[in-house]
Copies of this chain bind each other. A is one copy, B any other.
Amino acid sequence: MGEKYDQLVAHLSEIEDLDRAGSILGWDQQVNMPPGGAMARARQLSTLAKLSHEMFTDDKTAKLLDDAERETDGMPYDSNEASLIRVVKEDYAERTRLPAAYVAEFTRVTAEAHEVWVHARANNDFAHFRPTLERIVDLVIQAAEYLGYKDHPYDALINRFERGMTTARVKEIFDGHKPRLVSLISAVTEHAERVSDAVLHQDYNADQQRAFGLDMVKRFGYDMQRGQQSVSVHPFCTTFSRDDVRITTRFDSKWLNPALFGMMHEAGHAMYEQGVGAFLEGTPLAGGTSLGVHESQSRMWENIVGRSRGFWMWAFPFLKQYFPTQLEGVDAESFYKAINKVERSFIRVEADEATYNLHIMVRFELETGVVSGKIEVADLAREWNDRFESYLGVVPPSDALGVLQDVHWSSGLMGYFPTYALGNLLSVQYYNRALKDHPSIPDEIAQGKFDTLLHWLNENIHQYGRKFTSDELTRRVTGESIQSNDFIAYLEGKFGDIYGL
């Protein structure tokens, strides 16, 4: 490439190295760090973030982008060069629109908010969190103004996590499947007794859970030569390079689900990052293109594969070798049903496939409401509970199990939640497309073969990293934009079968 383009890549690559160093420090903080290390670590992370921010938002970046753009003029839209410049110009615009004073204030307020939220949740006291949340909502609205939007301030927020997505489009997608979801769940819960998940709640040795889970995700294709698994309180996936993508797991020795499906979930994220084209390594195009597409990968492996009948027809005998006592007399079919039991639970992170998106819709409606001023922060608890009753037929018995359950708002993260639901929709759209190309995939899964699916994902999604937006990618892969038909049809088919509706 040209001289300026190479200079741009070298400059961005140093910034990328600082960011990845920050990821390593963050991972260590949650996995290894002794309690005493916290204060210095916060300072080190803040210095890395500050230097990275200064280097990226420096005029030098804008100048190099302009020079490199002229140099690469006429290169195809999907070339690495044109894509890098296009994506980074948008990153640059986004990062430079927020004034330093605003960022400092936002950082200060959200840092303090965390403790306030922890205290409020522990004491089940939304009123304690309210003034802080009001301040955060003000700041979030300011951010939207700085960032700019066309129709709705929330557009600016969701755009940070799902570039190009709009509030109107999310609303359309959510409204498009909410009634069918509500009626599916209503039908299922009328026959709740048809599925028992008691088998999952027994003593399950954590080391054995880990061994089985690792065996499964390695078979999925999570490359442990370029990956690693550790224990942390909150499970996550983190990337230090495409050749060092790590997952963490939380083990519950009385419940099989969190670690097993958590490992599949995080491995789905990890395989995306491991599959990014080597030619993008070290550039800002390495990594997943949006939170929604990322979630589509984790949910595909966790749910569409990992909670499928075919998978367990094959995998259950292996699991039984790990836990012969606990699973004595249990057959694969009843185990399959147990892991797919639908419940009107209060906590999002424990929600099953069928109810999950309703949890998100509640949050989306409240977030757009407070950002547009249609809902007062003071009314959030009531608004939350009303919606919960209307969509799921139950009312959270406490704010800790309701409006206070998520950490996101205390961190100032608004516009983030919808991506979880979008990921669920995309997972089915992508999977259905993979089935059209390779109808043998379900049979292969039922034989413990996952490479056709993984290679299809590598080829059609992973390799592109951030070159295409979520919508560009989805159109390239499936021929259409995100929609909810595939998802709701998948759910109705799966749970209609399980519950004999």
Contacts and interface: CB of A to CB of B under 8 A. Distances in A.
Given A21-B48, A28-B28, A40 B228 contact: no
A100 interface: no
Given A17-B48, A32-B228, A241 B24 contact: no
Nearest to A31: B32
Contacts of A51: 14, 18, 51
Interface in A22-65: 22, 24-25, 28, 32-41, 43-44, 47-48, 50-51
Nearest to A226: B36
A37 B240 contact: yes
A343 interface: no
Interface string A446-479: 0000000000000000000000000000000000
Interface size class of A (residues with CB under 8 A): 35 or more
A33 B246 CA distance: 9
A282 to B, nearest CB: 7
Contacts of A36: 223, 225-227, 241, 243-244
Given A34-B226, A48-B17, A51-B14, A41 B282 contact: no
Contact of A25 (B21, B39, B282): B21
A238 to B, nearest CB: 12
Contacts of A226: 34-37
Given A37-B241, A225-B34, A244-B36, A282 B18 contact: no
Nearest to A286: B40
A224 interface: yes
B21 A241 contact: no
Contacts of A44: 17, 20-21, 24, 240-241
A281 interface: yes
A243 B14 contact: no
Contacts of A241: 36-37, 39-41, 44
A14 B243 CA distance: 29
Contacts of A43: 13, 17, 282
Nearest to A227: B34
B34 A228 contact: yes
A230 B32 CA distance: 10
A211 B456 CA distance: 48
A39 B243 contact: yes
A191 B14 CA distance: 61
Contacts of A17: 43-44, 47-48
A281 B51 CA distance: 20
B47 A14 contact: yes
Interface of A: 13-14, 17-18, 20-22, 24-25, 28, 32-41, 43-44, 47-48, 50-51, 223-228, 230, 240-244, 281-282
18 contacts: A13-B47, A14-B50, A17-B48, A18-B48, A21-B21, A21-B22, A21-B44, A21-B47, A32-B228, A33-B228, A34-B226, A34-B227, A34-B243, A35-B226, A36-B243, A40-B242, A40-B281, A41-B244
Given A18-B47, A40-B242, 7 more contacts: A17-B48, A21-B48, A34-B243, A34-B244, A36-B226, A36-B227, A44-B241
